[in-house]
Amino acid sequence: MAAVPNPPEKMMFQLTLRRRGISDQAVLRAMEEVPREVFVDPADRGYAYRDSALGIACGQTISQPFVVAYMTEQLQLQRQHRVLEIGTGSGYQAAILSRLCSHVLTVERYRTLADAARMRLQKLGYDNVEVLLGDGYDIPPGAGTFDRIIVTAAMEQIPEALLERLEPAGILIVPVGPHHGTQTLVRVVRTDAGFDRRELVDVRFVPALPGIAREL
């Protein structure tokens, strides 16, 4: 039987986020409301609220809570925003985003992960999230543009096609760097003059790969 999170660890979860500098109350509330233990492998549920990444199916990971909160805070979400996420994974980041904006389109290249995340999010009632099996480097034209874009896998460089999906004053958060090593989290804002790029913190993410994965 899988372990379940103990109450002191859940309490430390919020305290750790605050101590590490997360101050947006809406983000903290979303992190409190979304049951992280549902998004990790059953065997890891006892570790769900530790500030560490955990492995999930298809060789992917669920990011550590601080990174999820930090990236979400950097998006400066507003209730009316439409958000694109590349790299659904277990659906945890999409669930957090769903509490803070009007609609989330999340794209996953592994069918196993996409199907499981879709069912999980539907079961929890997060009905403003759409899970798409697809290629994060080739978003369907009909998907339109977005107020915010978040990439939860490492890109060696930011594709021009992704930048063009940003609405004016839109924000993109993406880990940029080598696939096997340390990346830098980059925040890009679309301005009247072009794109304002700022480097934030060093991170480690699994690679963002093109195409839809072979069945796993």
Reply yes or no on whether the pLDDT at 4 is more than 60: no
| Residue 22 within any structural domain of the chain | yes
d(CA 207, CA 109): 12
Reply yes or no on whether the pLDDT at 216 is more than 70: no
| Residue 211 within any structural domain of the chain | no
pLDDT tens column, 102-111: 999 999 999 9
Average model confidence (pLDDT) for the chain? 94
Q: Residue count of the chain, please give it.
A: 216
pLDDT (average), residues 38-57: 94
More confident residue, 141 or 175: 175
| Residue 153 within any structural domain of the chain | yes
What was the pLDDT predicted at 194?
A: 95
| Residue 157 within any structural domain of the chain | yes
Per the listing, tokens 């003059």 go with: 193
How many domains does the chain fold into? Answer: 1
pLDDT (average), residues 165-184: 96
pLDDT (average), residues 28-39: 96
Task: Please give the residue range of the domain that contains residue 117.
Answer: 7-203
| Token code pair at residue 7 | 């109450």
Where do the DSSP E strands lie in 51-127? Answer: 54-55, 61-62, 82-86, 103-108
Long-range pairs, 165-170, Cβ under 8 A, ≥24: 165/84, 165/139, 166/190, 168/192, 170/145, 170/146
| Residue 214 within any structural domain of the chain | no
**For 46, phi and psi rounded to 5 degrees?**
-70, -15
Reply yes or no on whether the pLDDT at 6 is more than 70: no
90 catalytic? Reply is no
| Residue 208 within any structural domain of the chain | no
Q: Are strands 82-86 and 166-176 parallel, antiparallel or unpaired?
A: unpaired
Residue 1 banded pLDDT, cuts 50, 70, 90: very low
Active-site hit among 23, 52, 63, 90: 63
pLDDT tens column, 191-214: 999 999 999 999 999 999 999 998
Residue 55 banded pLDDT, cuts 50, 70, 90: very high
- Find the helix or strand (DSSP H, E) in which 171 lies: strand 166-176
Residue of 57, 61, 63, 44 whose CA lies nearest to 5? 44
* Domain of residue 39, CATH code: 3.40.50.150
Question: How distant is the alpha carbon of residue 203 from its chain centre?
Answer: 13
Helix, strand and coil content of the chain, in percent to the nearest 5, comes to 35, 25, 40
More confident residue, 28 or 10: 28
- Find the helix or strand (DSSP H, E) in which 70 lies: helix 65-75
| Residue 212 within any structural domain of the chain | no
pTM for the whole structure: 0.94
| Residue 213 within any structural domain of the chain | no
Reply yes or no on whether the pLDDT at 40 is more than 50: yes
